[in-house]
Every structure is written in structure tokens, then in C-alpha cells.
Chains A and B, each alone.
Chain A
Amino acid sequence: MKGLKGILENLRPAFEEGGRLARLKPIFQALDHFLFAAAEKTPNPPFGRDPLDVKRYMSLVILALLPSFAAAVYFFGWRVLLMLLVSYAAGGLVEVLFAVIRKEEINEGFLVTGFIFPLILPPGIPLWLVAIGVSFGVLIGKEIFGGTGRNLFNPALVGRVFLAIGYPAALTSTWVQPLAQPWGRLLAPFGLGVPDALTSATPLGLAKSGALTGAFELFVGRTAGSAGETSALAILLGGVFLILVGVASWRTVLAVLASFVGLTAILHGLLPAAVPPVWFHLLSGGLLFGAFFMATDPVSGPVTRAGKWAFGFLIGAAAIFIRSFSGYVEGVMFAILLGNIFAPLIDEIVIRLKSRRYANER
């Protein structure tokens, strides 16, 4: 470790102002701060600070995503790992490029976006589409707003929607059917190309024609679907962890699930033929993944605590309405983006309401 520190210290002057590689300072800084905790001191009171930083915060999100990632590899094969590498490489390039141009530090938020992105794609998607999607998402969804913390929309979802609209055929016919063996697809061969076991039938698609997938299959995730979204079990493992450590807002998750379940129950009661029962809707598609990992994105959600309730209710309701009454079988993606659009408005209302009380207390 001492040697490593020595190497970094030797390299540092080249990246400081006036050094030969000063332009690439963000890259050096990211590596330096990744390996060793930052040494900046507190300039103002309080002179001691809480140990939590954004690095830790974001790495806990990635830790919580690991069960879903493991499930994706198990059900859909090692190709998912390739998708992740492509996503990190392409998205990382955009992120680094903008950090260098803006002369700011590289932001950890990208590591979460790049991890989530392959998990919300069909596991049989061509790898070049992964690269295009994540680059678009990071560029248009985040960088043009000024980077992490300033973006309006969830960047992973922006990339996903771009692919869904720009390449509809590739996005609806590249699902992979999991195998029934106990070792899943772990031993299945894979390559850079598109796998051959493709299908166009996800549980939500099949339900439109009246065939409901079994609850057990849906719960463990042995169905066709987006790589990390099929296994409710894995999502709950990571999602509950994320709520326990306080990184994900339980208010948002509860609000999404409550409004979704409530409305689905009502719609199923009114139109049992058109709307499948609650358990099916809850376990299929991207609802749980979206509720735990994407609606809880603090940046693109509402700023205020009270606003999180309204935000969650809106997403849950929009998701079931899109699923039931539109041409799309899956609506969570659009629902969350819709929520992102409304988040600033929700905040404004909450702030106005609170301002009245503040005026009284002054």
C-alpha cells in the first residue's frame, strides 16, 4: 500500500496545474480518491464531520443491486456481465469526457447508472445497443443538465426509453427464456453476438392473451424479462437492505407499492378480464425493481420529504394505467419518468405550504 501511495505521489505533479497532464486531472483524482480516502480538512464548523460520503452512499446502492445482478447471470447467462462491462465502458467514457471538459471531479453517481442500465434491458440485446443506450442516457439524461445532482431525469431510464423508441424491434424480441436446470444458464455458452434462444414473450405480454405465469416462477424470476427485473426475491433482498441502511426512502417505495396495489385491486375488481390480479402485476415486469432502485433515486425525485409520498403515489398509479390501457405492456419506465417530470412541481407545492407555517413562526 505504501508503494501504491508512493506511485500516486510521484504521478501527482504531472496532473497538477502546469503539469504535462493537467487536463486529465479528473481521471487521476478519481483514481487517487478511489484508492485512498480524501485528505481535505474541514474549513468551517463543525470541524468534525459524519463519515458518510457520496462514495459510500453509492457503493451501498451497488451492493444492494448485487443480488439482482447474480440472479440475472444465473437465469440469463454470463452475457449479462458482458453487458455490464460495455455499459461501464461506454457510459464511463462520456462521464470522463465531461469531467475533463468541465474540470470537475468524476462523479460516483455514474457507477450506479452504469450498473442499473444493463439490468433493465432484455438480456439478448446486441451489445452495441447497450453502448448507444447508456451513452445517450448519460449524455442527454445527465451531463447536459450539469452532471449528477443536477439532472431532472433518471439517466438509466432516459437511455432505456431512447432504445425502446429508437429500436423497438430489438427491444421487444430479444428476451431470453431461462433454462430449467438447477445450474440455470451458468454453464451455457455465450459470445459477443446475439444468443439464439430468443423469445418475444414476457409474462406481461402473455397475460394480454390470457395466459398467467405461475406465482413461484415470477417470484424467483425464472421467466423471460429484463435482465435484473425478473427475480422479485433478489430485488427484495437488495431493496430491503437499501431501506434498512437508510439510502432508499421507504416513503417512496411504500407510496409506489401502495398506490399500485390499491389501484390494481380496484381495476381487477371492475374489469377482471382485462386486468390480471394484484399478485401477478406486483411480481411481473419492472415494478419492484423500479420502486426499490429507480423511483428512490434521490436526485431525480422530489427534494422534500413530504413530496416523496405524492411522487410515489403518482408513479404507482401511472404504472398500472399504462399497463392496462395503453399499447405498451410495461409502464413502469414511463411512470417513473413521468414522476421525474412532476417532481419539481410537487416540491414547489410542498415548499409553498410550508412557507405559510414559516411565516407564522418567524
Chain B
Amino acid sequence: MRISGGYRPKIPGRPSGIVEEPPIPRRLIIRLHRDGLKYRPVIHDGQSVEFGEVLAETAVPGATLALPSPAAGKAMLEEEQLVLEQIRPDITPLKTYQPERITRGETVAALARGGVWPLFWSSATRGMPELGEDRKPRVIVLNVVMTEPFRARGKVILRRSWSRIIQGLKFLPRLLEDYGTLEIVLTAVRDPVARMMYSDLAGFAWIHFRPIPLRYPAENPRVLVQALRRSIPGLQKDSTIWVIDVQAAEAVGGCLAEGLPLHQRLIAAGGPGCAHPRHLAVRIGTPVSSFAPESPEIATLCGGLFRGDRVDPARAAVQYNDDAYFFLPEGSARQFLAFLRPGFDRTSYLPCFAGRLTGAADRRLTTFLRGERRPCITCGLCEKVCPARIMPQVLHRYLYRQALAEAERAGLELCVDCNLCTFVCPSKIELQKQFGEARQALLMERAEAERTK
């Protein structure tokens, strides 16, 4: 499949393929917010809970979503979060199912109760799929490619939990439309992991493989869906496509075949501020401080470099949908005559620094803006990297003079929030923020129009 635009920068601190499994910490912290939904606790303060017991739930049309307990222990209610103490590490499986005997309704209910359902992404809602019967997907995409520096790599997870993932895949036909297909998106590299997948899945006629270039933001569901629609001719414009990643497939297998609700996440801990970049398999709720560098000179981003948000490592904990913590040194020293140096220690999107000649990684990446704010010089870099094939520089021009309608016409809503334009902008314009606010304004305008109608 082809994807347009995109960029894969060389960033130091790529996590190694080894997966560390630290012991379960004494305290686990569960937030009562997930994917924009607020969960209501169903246990009382100080109650002792079993592994997999529902801690909190929220009602959505068609079912109830739950946060299952990642471990047995004593639950304390706090503001907007729930703390598990006196942890016992033992795991007792809940009810198991067999793919041939389970109905769609049972599948959906079990996944919703096991905390797995919100890991699915649907093109119809551009978020978690609806739970009702009506919108079955024509295609489910299993995405193995993770290009954002640095999120948990699909192949590391595949190597670790291949049998559970296969178990999970066998349940997917329950959710698909009749004659629906599973498209496995991976890089074309013929490495042992890819070979293993090819040979083990060769017998399934409903599973196809789709190679994709290793360029951020290939894993973005909207980018994948667009690329898929372009390369499958029979696919209707409005047919629903779901996207899951490898960890979600593993969670499906664990939840249904082994009776284990979502209790563990594989996370990548990496970046230039990380002394030992690695993958970690941790219980949900594990405090970030247990694996983050202790220096105050290092910023912690939850998520990768491009989309990650700053968190306070002393308060943050690994949640149900996390898979990456990026450690970025805080900028401190101002370099003398920085723009005149050849730059063997940095690489940029354009080959403007000597680092391109030696293939060096961008070793000077910090939280500095790395330049001064300037008016747009229309260099066009944002248009080149944009995976949605829109023209951020044109949108910026429109929004600069508050021309919201023009920006809408020029594809504002096709933006997939990959943040690449903001990353490469030499004038250091906060395009992402501007576009986000404009989309908000557009939604409000529409809601207003709806109301007055």
C-alpha cells in the first residue's frame, strides 16, 4: 500500500527488542478517565478486590464498559483515580470461550467487560466502535507497524505473544460482516517474525497481508484506512473499517481464550533521555516513576515523540491504552553560533545538516524549540510531509486571517493530528494548535447552526 508524505527521523534511544518484566509494584494507580469517557467506581473505599473484578464502569449505547482490576488487592478511592494497595500478584482466569461457540453478542460483552473494547478504532466513529449490531465492519486491519519514536514495536509483541495473538485473530470473524476480511499491515521486510506470520496464517483465506513503508505516521488509523480504500478497488466509500494494533489482538486472545481481562501493557521506554531504552511488560497502574529516569532535567512524554503529552512522572501511571513513554532532555545550554555549525550531531527533514552525510541521529534533540518564531516563509515542508495530502501552509494562511470557511474548504477536517507539520516547520509555527482550535470552532459553529434550525 502507498502512503503519501510521512517522515521517519533518526532519534537516539530506540528501545531494544528485549522485554523486561519488572516485579509488580506495591501500589497501582487506575485513572477513572479513559478515551474521553468518565468511569464510575462500583466498589467502595477500602474494599478488597480480586484479579479481574470490575473496578469502575460506564454505560454507553448497547453495553457497559468496564475497567477490570489488574491485580488483587485493596482498593482506595481518590479524586478521579483509584489506588490498589496490598497487591497480590496471583492471577486467576475468568470465564474462557471458544471461537466456534461464541456469539457476537457474547464477544462484544466479554470484550467490553474485559477493558478491551476501547482498543478498537472504527472509521465510522473515528474512535471506539459502537457496540450495537448495526455497524459490522467490512474489514478489520491488524497493524503491526509502529513508526512513531518510540512506541511498542509490533514485532516485539508478535515474538513474545504469537500464540495468544493467533487465538485473538480467530475470534475476529465473530465481529466482521459476512465475507469480511482481516488485512494485516506490516513492513515488507522478510524477517523471521514476518515469515512466521506468513506460514502460520497461510491457511486462512480471509486474512491478507499488506506491506506498507516504514514511515511515520503509517500507524495512524485514518492514514491506514485511506491507503486501504485506495488499494482495494471493491471497498465502498462508506463501508466500515476497524483498526487494531498487535497489543489489541493479544488482548482479545487473552480476554476470550484465556479468561484474562486487560491487565498488562507492553510499553516502550526510550528517547534520548533514557539510559537503557527497552520494552517493559508492566501491570496496568504501574507508576511511571518506577522506570523513569530520576533527573528533573528530563521531560517525560506519555506517547511517542510526535503525539506524546508531557506528564509528571511522580504522579503518572501506565493506563489501559498506553504503550510508550518517551524521555526527552530539557533544553539547557544555548549553543554558540549554532546555525553556522556544520551539524554532525543533528539531522533534519531537509539535508541541511552534516549529520545527513554520516547518518547520525539527532543527538541534540531537547525540549528547545530550536529556532525563533517567524512568519510563514511558505517553504512547503509541511505540505511535503503531510500524510493527509492537505496543505498546512494554506490552512495557516486562512486561519491567520480567521477565514474558517475557506480553511474548511481546503480540507481542515482531513487533518489526522499526526503533528508532523509542526515538527518540521522552520518558522516554528504551532500549526497543530491552530488547526485543533479551528476544528473546535467549526464543530461549535455547526452545533450552533443545528440548534437554531
> Within 8 Å CB of B328, what residues of A?
47-48
> In angstroms, how far is the closest chain A Cβ from the Cβ of B413?
6
Are B391 and A362 within 8 A (Cβ)?
no
> Within 8 Å CB of A361, what residues of B?
226, 411, 414
Q: Which residue of B lies closest to A43 (CB)?
A: B430
Are A355 and B410 within 8 A (Cβ)?
yes
Are A39 and B350 within 8 A (Cβ)?
no
| 8 Å CB contact of B338 from A37, A48, A107, A147 | A37
Determine whether B48 belongs to the interface, using a CB cutoff of 8 Å to chain A. Answer: no
> Within 8 Å CB of B423, what residues of A?
46, 48-50
| 8 Å CB contact of A51 from B348, B375, B393 | B348
Docked CA distance A45–B432 (Å):
8
Are A52 and B371 within 8 A (Cβ)?
yes
> Within 8 Å CB of A244, what residues of B?
351
With A42-B369, A149-B376, A303-B378: A351-B410 Cβ-Cβ less than 8 Å:
yes
How does the 8 Å CB contact mask read for B414-428 relative to A, with 1 for contact and 0 for none? 100001001111111
Determine whether A189 belongs to the interface, using a CB cutoff of 8 Å to chain B. Answer: no
Docked CA distance A30–B172 (Å):
60
Determine whether B187 belongs to the interface, using a CB cutoff of 8 Å to chain A. Answer: no
Are A304 and B391 within 8 A (Cβ)?
yes
| 8 Å CB contact of A354 from B306, B367, B391, B428 | B391
With A351-B391, A355-B411: A57-B379 Cβ-Cβ less than 8 Å:
yes
> In angstroms, how far is the closest chain A Cβ from the Cβ of B186?
25
Q: Which residue of B lies closest to A49 (CB)?
A: B370
| 8 Å CB contact of B432 from A4, A44, A150, A351 | A44
How does the 8 Å CB contact mask read for A29-61 relative to B, with 1 for contact and 0 for none? 000011111111111111111111111110110
With A245-B351, A298-B378: A48-B394 Cβ-Cβ less than 8 Å:
no
| 8 Å CB contact of B308 from A43, A47, A51, A357 | A47
Are A57 and B378 within 8 A (Cβ)?
no
Are B352 and A36 within 8 A (Cβ)?
no
How does the 8 Å CB contact mask read for B331-361 relative to A, with 1 for contact and 0 for none? 1001111111001001111111100000000
| 8 Å CB contact of B397 from A107, A303, A305 | A303
> In angstroms, how far is the closest chain B Cβ from the Cβ of A98?
13
> Within 8 Å CB of A1, what residues of B?
336
Are B369 and A41 within 8 A (Cβ)?
yes
Are A37 and B390 within 8 A (Cβ)?
no
Give A180-204 interface residues, CB cut-off 8 Å to B: none
Determine whether A178 belongs to the interface, using a CB cutoff of 8 Å to chain B. Answer: no
> Within 8 Å CB of B348, what residues of A?
50-52
With A47-B299, A149-B427, A246-B352: A53-B309 Cβ-Cβ less than 8 Å:
no
Are A245 and B352 within 8 A (Cβ)?
yes
Number of interface residues of B (CB under 8 A): 72
Are A51 and B422 within 8 A (Cβ)?
no
Q: Is the interface of B mostly helix, strand, loop or mixed?
A: loop
Are B411 and A53 within 8 A (Cβ)?
no
| 8 Å CB contact of B349 from A5, A50, A55 | A50
> In angstroms, how far is the closest chain B Cβ from the Cβ of A255?
15
Are B367 and A147 within 8 A (Cβ)?
no
> Within 8 Å CB of A37, what residues of B?
334-335, 338-339, 368, 370
Docked CA distance A211–B340 (Å):
45
With A45-B309, A147-B375, A354-B391: A52-B369 Cβ-Cβ less than 8 Å:
no
Determine whether B364 belongs to the interface, using a CB cutoff of 8 Å to chain A. Answer: yes
Interface residues of B (CB under 8 A from A): 9, 11, 226, 299, 301, 305-310, 328, 330-331, 334-340, 343, 346-353, 362, 364-380, 383-384, 389-391, 393-394, 397, 409-411, 413-414, 419, 422-428, 430, 432-433
Could you pull out 11 A-B pairs where Cβ atoms are within 8 angstroms? A46-B308, A48-B305, A48-B365, A54-B372, A56-B352, A60-B352, A149-B427, A245-B350, A299-B377, A303-B397, A358-B410
Give me the 5 closest cross-chain CB pairs, A-B, nearest first: A53-B371, A149-B375, A358-B411, A246-B350, A37-B338
